[in-house]
Amino acid sequence: MQVYKVGGAVRDRLLGLPVTDIDRVVVGATTEEMLAQGFRPVGADFPVFLHPKTGEEYALARTERKSGRGYGGFTFYASPEVTLEEDLIRRDLTINAMAEDDQQNLTDPYHGQRDLQARILRHVSPAFAEDPLRVLRVARFAARYAGLGFTVAPETLELMRQLSKSGELQALTAERSWKEISRALMEDQPQVFIQVLRDCGALEVLMPEVDALFGVPQPETHHPEIDTGLHTLSVLQQAALHKQPLTVRWACLLHDLGKGLTPQEQWPRHIAHEHTGLKLIKAVNERFKAPKDCHELALLVGQYHTHGHRALELKASTLLELLQSFDVYRRPQRFEEFIAACEMDARGRKGLEQRSYPQADYLRGAATAARGVAVQPLLEQGFKGPALGEALKRERLKALKAYKEAASG
Ligand code: CTP
């Protein structure tokens, strides 16, 4: 049997990037031979094994034939006769379809190296269409390598367009899609992920609520970029520049969904978009089974981002409601993430990227003031149950009034 490194390990070494996980392909071996050598099988029908010592992945060279819809519809054909070239041709991109032996001799039948140099993400063969998740993967690679100048080959984008139209994307499981989406959002240029999905018609299928924002105008005074879709991309870009966590990036992507519902007669104003958007934000989160922290923050940012921007003008009672909604006393981190998302929203506007955002410190100060109210003295005064809750609220309101006065004076 022969063993080769394949996929990301070869690609990233040639790009001069750090290699984290190494996938290997095994040519000329049977499942029985692998098991006899102590390899541990992964899953029942999948010809993938873990090395007994290193735990690294070894996959038998295989061809794939599609027998049904979606990923579950695969049957794998692995046999010692399958050649390296036959294995590589069914991979997604030419830059991912190179193999390397122990001496770093490269096998590159589909010109991955040429495409690496030309900075092109190009599919290897029509077998690309066997796994619709690859539409998301290509968009993710585009986001990851945009800084190096990579773009998607026109013929690959066309194939992605056909796949998006075919209804295949709907067959993807929420888990597989979310894994790609969440990884893509954490790349340096997550806005490229959304842009590429849009360019091939996949955004319209996966997140029609986000797609609908393109072409929707906003008032130029606050939004010199005007278009809500472009604004959303910029907010996402700011979130990445400021190294925000996934929760914040996800909330940034979804914060303005309500603007896609505004009747055209009301353009460019979007009255109450914070509320109209909530059901859409919920729907997107449920579609991809987003983790609870992402889902919660997206809803809160959707509902309250305008409060964030208007923080300095809010009445003490409104500030208190805001802090209560975030349960800032027990969940201080979530409020920090809200502030970050608001700041990204404010900066994700054409020409305003460097603006200061005094609302951030003001909100932090308000949270500190409200949290500074001690429970003990109220307990000592005999408050308990709902009455204690009310007394706490009153004290916090007092603290916030004092805070507001001190801040304006
Ligand atoms: N692959 C594929 N189609 C998929 C998933 C994987 O063709 N839907 C192939 C590609 O050749 C890929 C390799 O399997 O390079 C390994 O896949 P994976 O580990 O998911 O990705 P990497 O390319 O290693 O990229 P990353 O750095 O994102 O992990």
For 367-376, what is each residue's pLDDT tens digit?
999 999 999 9
Q: Is the pLDDT of residue 187 over 90?
A: yes
266 plus 339 within the same structural domain: yes
- Angle, nearest 10°, between helix axes 358-371 and 316-325? 80
Percent of the chain at pLDDT > 70 equals 96
* 45 has binding-site annotation: no
Q: Is the pLDDT of residue 403 over 90?
A: yes
Q: Is the pLDDT of residue 67 over 70?
A: no
Q: Is the pLDDT of residue 46 over 70?
A: no
Which residues face 366 on adjacent strands? none
* Overall number of domains in the chain: 4
Q: Does 212 map to a domain?
A: no
Summarize the confidence of residues 95-106 as an average pLDDT.
96
pLDDT band at 66 (very low <50, low <70, confident <90, very high): low
- Tell me, what's the pLDDT at 68? 47
State the distance from the centre of ligand 1 to the C-alpha of 38, rounded, in angstroms: 25
Summarize the confidence of residues 306-330 as an average pLDDT.
96
Which one of 62, 96, 185 would you pick to mutate in the ligand 1 pocket, going by the greatest count of ligand atoms within 8 A of its CB?
A: 96
Nearest-atom number in ligand 1 for the CA of 133 is 8
Q: Is the pLDDT of residue 198 over 70?
A: yes
Look-up: residue for tokens 């003990």? 376
- Tell me, what's the pLDDT at 47? 82
* 187 ligand 1 Cβ < 6 A: no
* 144 ligand 1 Cβ < 6 A: no
- Tell me, what's the pLDDT at 142? 98
266 plus 349 within the same structural domain: yes
Q: Is the pLDDT of residue 21 over 90?
A: no
Q: How far apart are CA 277 and CA 307, in angstroms?
A: 15
CA distance readout (Å), 310 to 248, 307, 339, 343, 351? 19, 5, 12, 12, 20
Tens digit of each residue's pLDDT (9 = 90 or more) over 254-277: 999 999 989 999 999 989 899 999
Q: Does 215 map to a domain?
A: no
Q: Whose CA is nearest to atom 7 of ligand 1?
A: 91
Angle at 395 between CA 392 and CA 401, to 5 degrees: 140
30 plus 129 within the same structural domain: no
Q: Is the pLDDT of residue 81 over 50?
A: yes
382 plus 348 within the same structural domain: no
The backbone torsions φ and ψ at residue 129, rounded to the nearest 5 degrees and listed phi first, read: -70, -10
Tens digit of each residue's pLDDT (9 = 90 or more) over 131-172: 999 999 999 999 999 999 999 999 999 999 999 999 999 999
Q: Is the pLDDT of residue 404 over 90?
A: yes
Q: 26-40, 97-111, 133-147: lowest mean pLDDT where?
A: 26-40
Find the domain containing 79 and state its range: 1-110
258 plus 351 within the same structural domain: yes
Q: Whose CA is nearest to atom 28 of ligand 1?
A: 8
127 plus 106 within the same structural domain: no
Tens digit of each residue's pLDDT (9 = 90 or more) over 350-386: 989 999 999 999 999 999 999 999 999 999 999 999 9
Q: What is the CATH number of the domain that holds 19?
A: 3.30.460.10
Report which of 123, 139, 121, 132 is spatially closest to residue 176, judged by C-alpha positions: 132
Lookup: tokens for 64: 């794939």
Nearest-atom number in ligand 1 for the CA of 140 is 28
Q: Is the pLDDT of residue 48 over 80?
A: yes
For the chain, give the mean pLDDT.
93
263 plus 348 within the same structural domain: yes
* 137 has binding-site annotation: yes
Look-up: residue for tokens 């408050």? 383
Q: Whose CA is nearest to atom 21 of ligand 1?
A: 8
387 plus 360 within the same structural domain: no
The torsion of the CA quartet 399, 402, 407, 409, rounded to 10 degrees, works out to: 180
* 96 ligand 1 Cβ < 6 A: yes
Percent of the chain at pLDDT > 90 equals 86
Q: Is the pLDDT of residue 73 over 70?
A: no
| The last residue of a domain, from among 110, 136, 166 | 110
Q: Does 226 map to a domain?
A: no
- What's the pTM value of the predicted model, to 2 decimals? 0.94
* 119 has binding-site annotation: no
Q: Does 219 map to a domain?
A: no
State the distance from the centre of ligand 1 to the C-alpha of 96, rounded, in angstroms: 7
Q: Does 51 map to a domain?
A: yes
244 plus 367 within the same structural domain: yes
State the distance from the centre of ligand 1 to the C-alpha of 342, rounded, in angstroms: 35
- Tell me, what's the pLDDT at 218? 81
* 131 ligand 1 Cβ < 6 A: yes
Q: Does 221 map to a domain?
A: no
In this structure, are residues 107 and 91 in contact, taking their beta carbons and an 8 Å threshold? Answer: no
393 plus 341 within the same structural domain: no
pLDDT band at 204 (very low <50, low <70, confident <90, very high): very high
| The last residue of a domain, from among 90, 110, 130 | 110
* 134 ligand 1 Cβ < 6 A: yes
Q: What is the CATH number of the domain that holds 202?
A: 1.10.110.30
- Tell me, what's the pLDDT at 70? 47
Q: How far apart are CA 307 and CA 301, in angstroms?
A: 10
Q: Is the pLDDT of residue 76 over 70?
A: no
In this structure, are residues 348 and 248 in contact, taking their beta carbons and an 8 Å threshold? Answer: no
Summarize the confidence of residues 250-257 as an average pLDDT.
97
**SS3 at position 57:** strand
Report which of 85, 45, 43 is spatially closest to residue 63, judged by C-alpha positions: 85
Q: Does 135 map to a domain?
A: yes
Biggest CA pair distance of the chain? 83
- Tell me, what's the pLDDT at 57? 92
Nearest-atom number in ligand 1 for the CA of 7 is 15
Q: Is the dihedral of CA 74, 79, 82, 87 positive or negative?
A: positive
Lookup: tokens for 82: 């399958």
241 plus 341 within the same structural domain: yes
* 8 has binding-site annotation: yes
More confident residue, 272 or 242: 242
| The last residue of a domain, from among 91, 110, 129 | 110
103 plus 189 within the same structural domain: no
* 180 ligand 1 Cβ < 6 A: no
Question: What is the DSSP track for 5-21?
Answer: EETHHHHHHHTTPPP--
Look-up: residue for tokens 């609908």? 212
Q: Does 230 map to a domain?
A: no
- Tell me, what's the pLDDT at 74? 52
